[in-house]
Amino acid sequence: MAKGKPWGGRFEQATDPTVERFSASIDFDRALARFDVRGSIAHARMLGAQGIIPEGEVGALVAGLEAVAREIENGSFPFDAALEDIHMNVESRLGHHVGKIAGRLHTGRSRNDQVATDLALYLREVSAAAQRGTLELRRVLVARADEHVDTLLPGYTHLQRAQPVRLAHHSLAFVEMLERDGGRFADLRARLDRSPLGAGALAGTTLRLDRERTARELGFSAPTRNSMDSVASRDLALEFLAAAAICMVTLSRLGEELVLWSTSEFGFIELADAFSTGSSLMPQKKNPDVPELVRGKSGRVIGDLVALLSVMKGLPLSYNRDMQEDKEPVFDAAATLRDCLEVMAGAVATLRVRDDRMRAAASDPMLLATDLAEALVREGVPFREAHEAVGRVVGHCVAKDLDLRTLSREDLRAFHTAFPDAAAALVDLESAIERRNLPGGPAKERVQAALADARVRLDREQSALEAAKETP
């Protein structure tokens, strides 16, 4: 296609330069270059096998495309904005290598099914990368949890101290969240298993293409079932963005805790110098910029999801040029998520835990008020009645500025006659946590079992990802 001329022979006027700039996508869809070449090689081989193009020309086309792939890989490929998109750039460069037979390559396909195929291949790769990123962060969290099975700290609700837990138990909560995040990317890859190539512009072609062959060569299990759906849908891109946005929310929540815990007011952790920054004015400052940036970038990825949802919400079947706007949000979200997973893994791996500060905060006896109520329940008192009595005990201690543990059995019985012992015997920190020996609880035995189970799941997932990498 001549520069400045629309595709095909229908048009007599050159495209206005402002329209060229406005509609060009090569500045961002060059990210699909590797995948575009892969799809083109599979398509060329299929055309030859079907006798649609001379078999003797297939070798030249494939060799030319492999030369293009090498140029893309080593950074010497001459991307040309005048050629509008990655598809035309690859085809034009192929012509440089093999001459006029490059015009054979587009036989039986459209840029509509071509870009849908490129995007599916790209989404498979970045989904696997995102899953690996969540897995690596989970490994770091499990390793740090293993170091701190005996480190106690308050668990919080409403950002108020609630009940004491083990730091390992707290870390394993994020392991569970991130495992679900990774699972969403794995689920998506199962739906990225059909090849759009061969769907054409929207209704296929009269040529006898072998869609099953190209699907297999590109690592898909089968071709897509409906040609219009193949070129009209971007729900798989939306699903990636949704999974990325949810994962970023998990990272943002973890980042928020690192920010809080690194303050002087909490003092639970100190971030490594390599994952902190200083102030341009105040020499004493050590700022938690890494988790703050992760927290901020979550909004960016959420915005990527909303942007593509807004693009797609009113489009009639099948392909519309609006759908060119699918790529930048996907590329941005993939890169942002990749970087955030990496820096958070580094920050968590290198931070210093102030277990003394954590234990001091967890030693607040008011955190065991529920245990005091449950001591009454074990004596046969209805929980609501026990809750009321302990609430009055707590109010008394607050009003008198008393340590709950100083109350004798007689002191407690002034609030309910069923109290079986002095407060100090009923609200011991270590025994309180050990009594929470239920599945999913913070008792040491349960936490150690959860750590062992998490390691097994990590190894199983790692093996599955490695096996998937060996599949084309």
Rounded to whole angstroms, how far apart are CA atoms 174 and 250? 8
Query: Diameter of the chain by CA atoms?
Result: 100
Pick the catalytic residue from 279, 310, 431, 463.
279
- Rounded (10°) CA dihedral 142, 143, 145, 149: 130
Do the Cβ atoms of 359 and 276 come closer than 8 Å? no
| Distance from C-alpha of 47 to C-alpha of 445, rounded to nearest angstrom | 63
Task: Please give, one letter per residue, the 3-state secondary structure of the chain.
Answer: CCCCCCCCCCCCCCCCHHHHHHHCCHHHHHHHHHHHHHHHHHHHHHHHHCCCCCHHHHHHHHHHHHHHHHHHHHCCCCCCHHHCCHHHHHHHHHHHHHHHHHHHCCCCCCHHHHHHHHHHHHHHHHHHHHHHHHHHHHHHHHHHHHHCCCCEEEEEECCEEEEEEEHHHHHHHHHHHHHHHHHHHHHHHHHCCEECCCCCCCCCCCCCCCHHHHHHHCCCCEECCCHHHHHHCCHHHHHHHHHHHHHHHHHHHHHHHHHHHCCCCCCCEECCHHHCECCCCCCCCCECHHHHHHHHHHHHHHHHHHHHHHHHCCCCCCCCHHHHHHHHHHHHHHHHHHHHHHHHHHHHHHCEECHHHHHHHHCCHHHHHHHHHHHHHHCCCCHHHHHHHHHHHHHHHHHHCCCHHHCCHHHHHCCCCCCCCCHHHHCCHHHHHHCCCCCCCCCHHHHHHHHHHHHHHHHHHHHHHHHHHHCC
* Set 76, 158, 264, 280: catalytic member: 158
Amino acid letter for position 40: S
Q: Is 87 assigned a catalytic role? A: no
Residues serving a catalytic function are 158, 279
